[in-house]
Structure 1
Amino acid sequence: MATRSSIAHLQNPRRTLSSSSQTPAYPGHIPLNWFENAFLAFGSAAMSLADPRRGDMIAALGETTAGPALPRLRDHMLNSAEGRQILKDRPRINSDTVDMNALAQLPEGTFGRAYVTWLERCGVTPDTRAPVHYIDDPELAYVMQRYRECHDFYHCIVNLPVDVSSELAVKFFEFANLGLPVAAISAAFGHLRLDWPKRQRLFGEYVPWAMKCGASANSLITVYWEKRWEQDFGELQRDIGVWSAPETKWRKPLSEAKIAAEKRRKMAEMALAEGAEASS
């Protein structure tokens, strides 16, 4: 039976589990021994299934079950010119590092403009990804962080929103492409939340697409997305070797999202003009 302190830790994964003498390898690192790692893996899996909104538990599950998948992804990056540059630069994806107003001013049809439109259409931001805590090697910790922060790009490049069915489709796609166990666990159990018609469509249409597309595409962890903002969206799909998922319903129509993105673009232009006028 779990102790009161262990349950409390699962409810607050930032709290230090371990009395281990291992020195943290990077800011926020929480060293775990093998037993603590296993306990957190099982506990976070149970709590993630009980409440899929617990992003902290899903993050902990991803880190404690990563195993040999992260070194393999790091090797993919080292074997790619783009991947090596990512490991050298270690870019981060959030609203402080990505100029959304600049992306909104890119021409229609570019990846950067499509990404801003996707954010508007889904009503999400890039600021919700939890930091890595439980991976000991700093470089592998960054690989996990990179995977986590690029997740929205995967949705965008295959034209899927963030509802339950689409999220599961992307998890199957990620597992076929990246091989991370957390994607397999989410895909294996997440469909239980769907009603029968949605589950039928998931396995009848989305899973075949996801497995074929993910397995045949280049490893997405090697794509330096931030260097591709100005690239044509269709050309980027072809470069990576992906194609759009089967059609699905979106929370917001594309026309509304484009209007919102255009409003952002005009506001950015006005801010630039006002700044130029003030400095003259």
Structure 2
Amino acid sequence: MLLKSALSALADPADAKAVGAVLDITSPVALKHLRNQMQASPDGRAVLEQRPLPPNSKDPDFEALKKLPKSTFGGSFHSFMVEHGFSPEGRPAVRYVDDEELAYVLLRYRLSHDYYHALLGLPPTVAGELVLKAVEALEFGLGGAALQAALGASGGAGLVTKGEREELREVFLPWVVRGHARRRGMESLLCVRWEEEWGTDIGELRERLGIEPAPEFEKRG
């Protein structure tokens, strides 16, 4: 199952089901570490106890985000989802983690993925996804994310151009490393109670979390 899913993920980093299976199978040790981090944080414990989920796309709470300025986290998240045709319920369920609490930790990571896109300013292109996987690999220590990040740096299985590959190595991976160093000692992003930050100015939220917005992709050829 791991080999089959890994090959599918290598062929298409946007294959959510294959990527999810790799994460499910390879992450038990990292998940226990992440759960320990969450249990050591008041906000993390609250997340584990309440087990919040993003608002459903048909939920009035999601529609209410449209009324928020794009300068807020909630407004930015809503714009990202609508502009790219995504829905909060589109992430696959956890299938290969038996422990109920660990399964939620992985689900929380998975459901927060689009929050990170909005927070970091990364597009949902193959190159953008690979950069985000590099961020997640360092932030959470998940093997599946590291696999995809390495794929991007080595050529993205032909799914990124030569120019994008060069930019990944020369611009974005150094940005990822700088960001990881900046966040050293801070709480895991899994401890952030995103649902209580909808009205927060996104610049203020980034500053509080030690986040530098991503550079823009420039090279395509």
Q: TM (normalized to structure 1)?
A: 0.71
Aligned residue among 54, 61, 83 for 1:99: 61
> Aligned-pair distance for 1:247?
1.5
> Is the CA contact 1:174–1:214 (under 8 Å) kept in the aligned structure 2?
no
Distance in 1, Cα, partners of 2:201 & 2:118: 13
1:216-270 Cα offsets, whole Å, 9 max, x none, are 3231111110011111111100111111000137xxxxxxxxxxxxxxxxxxxxx
One-letter amino acid of the structure 2 residue matched with residue 204 of structure 1: E
Change (3 A) 1:154 1:43: same
Q: Is the 8 A contact 1:70 1:140 kept in 2?
A: yes
Partner of 1:83: 44
Amino acid at match of 1:238: E
Q: Deviations over 1:180-226 (max 9, x none)?
A: 11110111124232221110001111111112213432311111100
- SS of residue paired to 1:99: helix
Residues 9 and 19, structure 2, Cα contact 8 Å, conserved in 1: yes
Q: CA RMSD in A?
A: 1.7
The aligned amino acid for 1:207 is L
Aligned residues: 210
| Equivalent position of 1:137 in the other structure | 99
- Which letter maps to 1:113? G
Comparing 74-83 and 139-148, the one that deviates more? 74-83
Q: Which structure has the larger Rg?
A: 1
Per-residue CA deviation, residues 58-112 of structure 1 (Å, 9 max, x unaligned), is 1111100003100111111111111111001001124256722211112442111
Q: TM-score, normalised by structure 2?
A: 0.89
2:32 maps to amino acid: P
How far, CA to CA, are the matches of 1:48 and 1:151 in structure 2? 17
1:103 and 1:141, CA in 2 relative to 1: closer, same or farther beyond 3 A? same
CA distance in 1, matches of 2:149, 2:60: 30
- Equivalent positions of 1:184-195 (< 5 A) are 184-190=146-152, 191-192=156-157, 193-195=159-161
Does residue 168 in structure 1 map to residue 153 in structure 2? Answer: no
Q: Which runs of 5+ in 1 are unaligned?
A: 1-39, 250-280
**Larger relative contact order, structure 1 or 2 (CA cutoff 8 Å, min sep 6):** 2
Aligned-partner residue type, residue 230 of structure 1: G
> Share of identical aligned residues, percent?
39
* 2:31 maps to 1:70: yes
Establish whether residue 56 from structure 1 lines up as the match of residue 10 from structure 2.
no
Please give the residue correspondences for 1:194-205 in structure 2 after superposition, counting only pairs within 5 Å: 194-205=160-171
- Check whether the contact 1:104–1:116 (CA below 8 A) recurs between aligned residues: yes
Distance 1:108 1:46, change over 3 A: closer
For 1:173 and 1:77, the matched residues in 2 are separated by: 19
CA distance in 2, matches of 1:210, 1:173: 6
**Letter aligned with residue 62 of structure 2:** M
The one-letter amino acid paired with 1:91 is P
Q: How many Å apart are 1:53 and its aligned residue? A: 4.5
Opposite residue 40 of structure 2, the aligned amino acid is N
User: Contact conserved, 2:73 with 2:201, CA < 8 A, in 1?
Assistant: yes
The 3-state SS of whatever aligns with 2:28 is: coil
